A = this chain, B = another copy of it.
Amino acid sequence: MIRVGSVVLRVDDLPRQTEFWSAALDYVPREGPSDDDFVLLRPRGGVGPNLSLDRHDSAVHLPPRIHLDLYADDQAAEVKRLQALGATEVHWDKRPPDADYIILADPEGNRFCVVDAS
């Protein structure tokens, strides 16, 4: 048995990224020993992969080889909420006008999509 247990994101500012992603996904830090360089966030409701934040030098490359698609019931409301948390919208010249996704970047410039799943 094997499963996608966690998505690991390298970060520069661990407290800032912990704050953003916890609020973005409604995730909470895992109980147990803490580490100045690593935080494992898990879904508060228990469903879904963990998100591991790992303080390590690693440049942001665009376009990213791997990114997250977040599925939203209310895409417009979620985009607004994420922007209030510190995300910024990314305007991509190849995005079709009828695309079901909106591209955002987290506070460190990691791009992700908010997909209309309604």
| Chain A interface residues (CB < 8 Å from chain B) | 1-10, 24-26, 43, 47-52, 56, 58-61, 63-74, 78, 110, 113-115, 117
Contacts and interface: CB of A to CB of B under 8 A. Distances in A.
Contact of A7 (B7, B24, B58): B7
Copies of this chain, whole number: 2
Contacts of A117: 5
Given A49-B49, A61-B61, A61-B65, A72 B7 contact: no
Given A56-B63, A58-B63, A73-B1, A68 B6 contact: yes
B2 A72 contact: yes
Nearest to A60: B65
Nearest to A81: B2
B48 A49 contact: yes
A92 to B, nearest CB: 12
Contacts of A114: 2
A65 B67 CA distance: 10
